[in-house]
Amino acid sequence: MKTFKMLSFDLINEDGGQNIPIIDGIVINQENSRKSWILELFLSKEHKTTFENLKASNEVFEVHVIISFPDNEPAPFKVLVSDIREIGEKITVLLKGTIKTRRSKYAEALLNSLLTEELSSEELMTRFKKGMRERPRIKES
């Protein structure tokens, strides 16, 4: 197994991403035949209802996580809520799932989308860098 420090966590939905501020978090690659990962979040109790609803739905959902270094690209995961526990005024949320491997096509899709907007070279570069960092959902044309 390998463990990594989680720096940032975003819930992804059809409108884009919702950043959930974390106090601390780890990501564990179980390195097993199922290629499964465990994400553990330590966060404010104000987010408990969000994760309780996700757990009750028993649906797989997408998250983006920045691991180890702030400049790393967000890693996309498909996860389920496995457990939620209260620790004082905070909660810990355990997510289990797999990493999505289709990351390499994102840059091409983002660039193609931005090219339709007739941006200046400087603006194109700025928006491309921001898009690669934040990973907004790209509308299909």
pLDDT at 44 (0 to 100):
96
- Does the pLDDT value for residue 46 go beyond 60? yes
- Does the pLDDT value for residue 92 go beyond 90? yes
Percent of the chain with pLDDT over 70: 95
Of the CA atoms within 13 Å of residue 53, those in its CB half-sphere come to 4
98-114 per-position pLDDT tens digit: 998 655 577 888 888 89
Two structure tokens written together for 96: 């289990």
* Residues facing 9 on adjacent strands: 65
What is the mean predicted confidence (pLDDT) over 5-30?
A: 92
- Does the pLDDT value for residue 122 go beyond 90? yes
pTM of the model: 0.73
- Nearest-5° Cα angle at 124, 15 to 119: 95
Of the chain, the end-to-end C-alpha distance in Å amounts to 41
Across the chain, what does the average pLDDT equal?
Answer: 89
Two structure tokens written together for 131: 């898009």
Q: Backbone phi, then psi, for 46, in 5-degree steps? A: -60, -20
Two structure tokens written together for 6: 């989680």
3-class state of residue 82 by DSSP: strand
51-77 per-position pLDDT tens digit: 999 999 999 999 999 999 888 888 899
- CA-to-CA distance for 53 and 57, rounded, in angstroms? 6
3-class state of residue 67 by DSSP: strand
Q: Are 60 and 79 in contact (CB under 8 A)?
A: yes
pLDDT at 64 (0 to 100):
93
